[in-house]
Chains A and B, each alone.
Chain A
Amino acid sequence: MSRTIFFEVEILDSKTKEQLCFLDKVEPHSSVGDIKSLFHKSYPKWYPARQALRLDPKGKALRNDDLLQNLPVGTSATLYFRDLGPQLGWTMVFLAEYIGPLLIYLLFYFRVPYIYNHKYTLTSSSHHVVNLACACHSFHYIKRLFETIFVHRFSNGTMPLRATLRNCAYYWGFAAWLAYYINHPLYTPPSYGKTQVRYALIIFVLCEAGNFSVHWSLNSLKCEGAKCRRFPNPSKNPFTWLFFFVSCPNYTYEVGAWVGLSIMTQCVPVALFTFLGFIQMSIWAKGKHKTYTREFKDYPNFRMPILPFIL
C-alpha cells in the first residue's frame, strides 16, 4: 500500500491577504475545480463559478481543470481568491438577451398605448412591409431562442451579471428604437416599393437559412467545451460552402440577414444596428480566426475571418 502525500491548501483574499480558508488532506490529483467546490462548502455564498483563484494576487486566474500536483507550489499551496460577482450561465444570458427584443418589438407593432399619439393606439399600419418586417424580426429572435435551447452546446462557462445587464440594455434599447420607427404612423415605405421589399426578403431568408445551417454544422463538431478536435469544414449543405471562404460564416450570414432587414425597411436605426453588429462580429471573427490558425497547423490559408477575400 503506497503512502499518498496530501497537499495543504491555504486560500487568502487577494486584496486583504487575510486567510479565508485552510484545507488540509487535499488529494494531489485534485483539480482547481475540486478546490473551488471545497471552498464553496465553507462559503455558501461564493459558488464555484464566482470564484477566481490565482497563484499570485495580480496574476491570471487558474483554470478549473488545472491539477494541483501540476502547479508550481510544492505540497503546501497558497491561493488568492477574488469574487467575480454574481454569474449567469450562458443559456440564461442568451434567453434574457433575446426575449427582450422579441417582445419589445411586438409592443410597438401593436401600438400599445402611450407610445404613439393616442389616436393611433392599437391600430395597425396600412403598409404591407410593416407586417412583413414584424414577421421577419420575430422569426429571427424565435430562431435564436430555439437554437439557444436545442442546438447550441455551451461550455460550463458563465457571464458576470453586470455584463449581461449591459448587453440586455443594448439589445433591448436598440430593438425599441428601431421598432419605434418601423411601426410609426408616419413610416415611409421603401423608395423602390415591392421590388425592393421582395429582394430584401430573399436576402433575409437565405441568410437565416445559412446561419442556421452553420450553427447546426458547428454543433456536430464534437467539441468538449471550448476545445475542438477539428476545425469546421463545408458539408453537403450548400449553405455551409461559405466555410471555403470564411472562418465564421455564421457571423457573415447574421450580418447579411440584418442587411436584408435594413433594405426591406429602409430605416436608418436598422442600418445603424447592422453596422454596429458588423463591427462587433468582425472583432469576434478575427479572434476566432486567430485561435483556429494557432491551434490547427493545417488550417486553410484561403479563409478570411468574416468577409470572403476582404476581412
Chain B
Amino acid sequence: MPSSLKARTSGTTELLYESFLSRWLVIAVGLVRAYLARGSYHGLYYSIEKPLKYFQTGALLEILHCAVGIVPSSVVLTGFQVMSRVFLTWAVTHSVREVQSEDSVLLFVVAWTVTEIIRYSFYTFSLLNHLPYLIKWARYTFFFVLYPMGVAGELLTIYAALPYVQKTGLYSITLPNNYNFSFDYHTFLILVMISYIPLFPQLYFHMIRQRKKVLGHVEEYSKVE
C-alpha cells in the first residue's frame, strides 16, 4: 500500500478503532451494570443485544481493512473470524429466540467483548506508536483462555438451537419444488459444529506461533541486559 495513502488513512483509522474500542467498552459496561442490577447472570444477552448486533456486523469493515492493507492481518483469517461471529450473532442467536436466554450465549459474548477490547486497544495504540507492553502481552496471552471460552460458548449455543431448528424447519427448503433444490438448516448447523474440529486448532496454533514471534524477541533482549 503506498505510504502516502497510509499516512492519509491512518488518522481516520485511529478514530475508527477508538470508536470500535469505545463501543465494545459500552457492551462491557452494559453487561456489568445489568449483572449488578439483576443480581444474576441469566438473560444478560437482552441488555446488550442491539449494540452487539451492530458492532459485530460493523466488524465486516475489518475484512476491507485487511484487503486494502491498513491492518497487516491476513484477509482469509480475519474474514473467516468475522463471518463466523456474524453467523453466530444473526443466524443462530437472533434467529432462534429460545436460545437467547442460554448461559452459553453469555460465555461467547464475554469472550468476544474482552478479546475485542484488548485487540482494538492494541491497534489504536500501535497506530499512535505508543504501545504499552502490557497491551501487547495481554493480546498475545489472554487468548489462551478466551479462545476456548468463546468456542465453547459458540458450540453450546448452536447445540442448544438444534432441536428448535429441527422442529420449526427454520431456513430449510424441502422437495418437491420448482427449482429442485433442498437445504436442511439443521444438518447445516451440525456440519458447522464439525468444522470447528479442523479449524479451531489451526487458529489457536497460529496465535501461539504469533505469540512466540512477537513476545519471544523481548525475552531475548531482557536476557542480554
Binding site for B on A (CB under 8 A): 181-182, 184, 186-188, 191, 265-269
Contacts and interface: CB of A to CB of B under 8 A. Distances in A.
B188 to A, nearest CB: 14
Nearest to B181: A268
Interface residues of B, number: 8
Nearest to A270: B180
A293 B175 CA distance: 49
Contact of B176 (A182, A187, A265): A187
B178 A187 contact: no
Contacts of A265: 180
A297 B178 CA distance: 51
Nearest to B174: A186
A188 B178 contact: yes
A191 B175 contact: no
A181 B178 contact: no
B174 to A, nearest CB: 9
A267 B181 contact: yes
Interface string B170-202: 000001111111100000000000000000000
A184 B175 contact: yes
A181 B177 CA distance: 11
B182 A181 contact: yes
Interface of B: 175-182
Contacts of A266: 178-180
Contacts of A182: 180
Contacts of A267: 179-181
A191 B177 CA distance: 11
Contacts of A187: 175-176, 180
Nearest to B182: A181
Nearest to B176: A186
A97 B83 CA distance: 32
Task: Kindly list the 5 A-B residue pairs having the minimum CB-CB distance in the complex, ordered from nearest.
Answer: A268-B181, A186-B176, A267-B180, A186-B175, A181-B180
Nearest to A269: B181
B182 A188 contact: no
Given A181-B182, A267-B179, 8 more contacts: A184-B175, A186-B175, A186-B176, A187-B180, A265-B180, A266-B179, A268-B181, A269-B180
A135 to B, nearest CB: 18
B124 to A, nearest CB: 35
A263 to B, nearest CB: 12
Nearest to A180: B182
A21 to B, nearest CB: 33
A184 B178 contact: no
25 contacts: A181-B175, A181-B180, A181-B181, A181-B182, A182-B180, A184-B175, A184-B180, A186-B175, A186-B176, A187-B180, A188-B176, A188-B177, A188-B178, A188-B180, A191-B178, A265-B180, A266-B178, A266-B180, A267-B180, A267-B181, A268-B179, A268-B180, A268-B181, A269-B180, A269-B181
A160 to B, nearest CB: 21
A164 B176 CA distance: 35
Nearest to A190: B178
Contacts of B178: 188, 191, 266
A134 B182 CA distance: 20
